[in-house]
Amino acid sequence: MPPLKVLFVSPEVEPFIKVGGLADMVGSLPKALTALGHDVRIVMPAYGSLKRDSAWHARPDPLGVDVGTEAHWARTWENVLPGSKVPVYALEHEGFFGRPEVYAGPWGNFPDNDLRFTFLCRGALNLCLQLGWIPDVVHCHDWTTGLLPLLLNTTLRHTPLGQTASVFTIHNLEHQGYADRRVLSFAHIPPEEFRTDSTESVGAVNQMKAGLYHATKLTTVSPTYAEEIKTPAGGFGLDHVLRYRAADLLGIVNGIDTTAWNPAMDKYLPRPYNQRSVEAGKAVSKAALQARLDLDLDPHIALFGVVSRFASQKGLDLLAEALPHVLERMHVQFAILGAGDPGLEHVFRWAAEQYPGRVGMHVGYDNSLAHLIQAGSDLFVMPSRSEPCGLTQLYAMRYGTPPLVRSTGGLVDTVSQYVEGQPAGTGFRFNDATAPALYNTLGWACATYYDRPAEFHALRLRGMNQDFGWDVSARRYEELYQWAVDARRATPLP
């Protein structure tokens, strides 16, 4: 396959700025594509919280960004993805990106998010023109980049970028980026694009919908989620668009960064381990985790870990509801890390006070603790109501921590059901999004841990043996990019 020029445009990039798994994906897939010989570059915002250390260099020329009615200029910072040669450009603009947060401040989502991310989309494209580097494909990620394919199809169709194809990846259909129609004129997009088969939903601009209608090809991050979102139950009001574009929609399961998440080389663990040393290695991490979260120091108790955003998507309300019953009847501990919904933070705090030594929790974002929980827990709990792909269950399996998940989206595609008495499965799955179903499955996992230790050990090893790297999925993206390029070049100019 001839090498392609691919531009990633994303609101989050690990290790620079991360809210969730989108950052992990955008921080790792480009490395795998570069290894296949492609020229991949990334554009992101330079938020106020982006640490501009000596690895970043400011480009000498200011970047003009064609949005709104006045002149807007960005300063472009340049770096590479650590451990690679993938160029990363971060756009600095005090008004749009000076604040530290990505999407929301203490009072909720920023009211100018539509303008901020339009600036990102147009800034990324203007940067290509400034660099004289015209990508074959722009790979967009979630609603913040939804207007970009539309820009390529309209405003920029008769420029050097007019032949550039676009691939739009849905990481989470739940967040669609509704905006006032002012955003179209701000983006210099023709007003006639405010119609239901382009950008309009219930009287507003839906930026996700724009991406879904206008990208050359669409992907989402697992095959099962690709099916779910085409149904009214899983489509968040956009299932009809996804059915309309079904022939162009592909589910490709995410890989993981196997260097950052490798128990044999993990700098956050007191004693890194591999399959041969898993029992001893995990025991040391378990003790460290118990100490760090004020849990009773007990090497034998079943310890369940949670690392998650506290959002309704993640189903942690089910865990909150089941927790008192579980703690009354099962000999278990919980190590919980997360932040978000204040109600959930409150319930888990309450549980930690009510059951000292049995529930340990930390509210906030803490990557080193996330690693320690993956290593030090015996089981990993992820009762998601919906889950486009999910990465934490992959990290858990790689760390020898069988996941307990609800059968939805990418969790179906990545965790196979343990079958008692047989050498099968990598975790525990349940179907109903109810607290009793979760309770029963926690009980089943607990019984397996205590009563069938040999089977539990084999379950651990099967998870550790899986290959979660990017090799297979990067090849699928490569193939999809080529299809997108062919389709774009075959589309006549209007």
Interface residues with ligand ADP (CB under 6 A) are: 20-22, 24, 307-309, 337-339, 365-367, 370, 389-392
Q: How far is CA 406 from the centre of its chain?
A: 18
Interface characters, 36-75, with ligand GLC (x: CB under 6 A): ----------------------------------------
From ligand ADP, ligand GLC, none, which one binds at residue 309 (CB under 5 to 8 Å depending on kind)? ligand ADP
User: For ligand ADP, which is the closer residue by CB, 29 or 391?
Assistant: 391
From ligand GLC, ligand ADP, none, which one binds at residue 305 (CB under 5 to 8 Å depending on kind)? none
Residue 25 near ligand GLC by CB under 6 A:
yes
| Residues 142-181 close enough to bind ligand GLC by CB under 6 A | 171-172
For the CA atoms of 299, 310, 262, 5, what is the dihedral angle to 10 degrees?
Answer: 180
Q: How many CB atoms lie within 10 A of CB 223?
A: 16
Is the Cβ–Cβ distance between 406 and 443 less than 8 Å?
no
What's the CA gap between 85 and 41, in Å, rounded? 9
From ligand ADP, ligand GLC, none, which one binds at residue 376 (CB under 5 to 8 Å depending on kind)? none
How far apart, in Å, are the Cα atoms of 382 and each of 107, 274, 355, 358? 28, 24, 21, 19
How far apart, in Å, are the Cα atoms of 279 and each of 33, 163, 273? 35, 55, 9
From ligand ADP, ligand GLC, none, which one binds at residue 403 (CB under 5 to 8 Å depending on kind)? none
Question: Which secondary-structure segment (H or E) carries 434?
Answer: none
From ligand GLC, ligand ADP, none, which one binds at residue 433 (CB under 5 to 8 Å depending on kind)? none
From ligand GLC, ligand ADP, none, which one binds at residue 414 (CB under 5 to 8 Å depending on kind)? none
User: For ligand GLC, which is the closer residue by CB, 114 or 387?
Assistant: 387
Collapse the DSSP code of 251 into the 3-class scheme (helix H, G, I; strand E, B; otherwise coil) and give the result. Answer: strand
Q: Render 133-152 in DSSP notation, one character per residue.
A: ---SEEEEESGGGTHHHHHH
- Contact with ligand GLC (CB under 6 A) among 149, 251, 315, 390: 390
- Contact with ligand GLC (CB under 6 A) among 114, 193, 387, 413: 387
Q: In whole angstroms, how close is the CB of 221 to ligand GLC at the nearest point?
A: 4
> Which residue type occupies 160?
P
Find the part of the chain contacting ligand GLC (CB under 6 A) among 20-28, 68-76, 194-202, 375-383.
Answer: 20-28
What's the CA gap between 333 and 323, in Å, rounded? 10
Nearest C-alpha neighbor of 103 from the set 170, 43, 152, 176 = 176
How far apart, in Å, are the Cα atoms of 322 and each of 46, 296, 325, 441, 442? 41, 21, 6, 11, 10
Q: In whole angstroms, how close is the CB of 385 to ligand ADP at the nearest point?
A: 11
Q: In whole angstroms, how close is the CB of 113 to ligand GLC at the nearest point?
A: 17
User: For ligand ADP, which is the closer residue by CB, 127 or 208?
Assistant: 208
Q: In whole angstroms, how close is the CB of 279 to ligand GLC at the nearest point?
A: 29
Residue 382 near ligand GLC by CB under 6 A:
no
| β-strand pairing of 379-382 with 359-363 | unpaired
Residue 14 near ligand GLC by CB under 6 A:
no
- Please identify which residue in the block is written with the tokens 């990102």: 120
Chain residues in the site for ligand GLC (CB under 6 A): 20-22, 25, 171-172, 221, 254, 387-391, 410
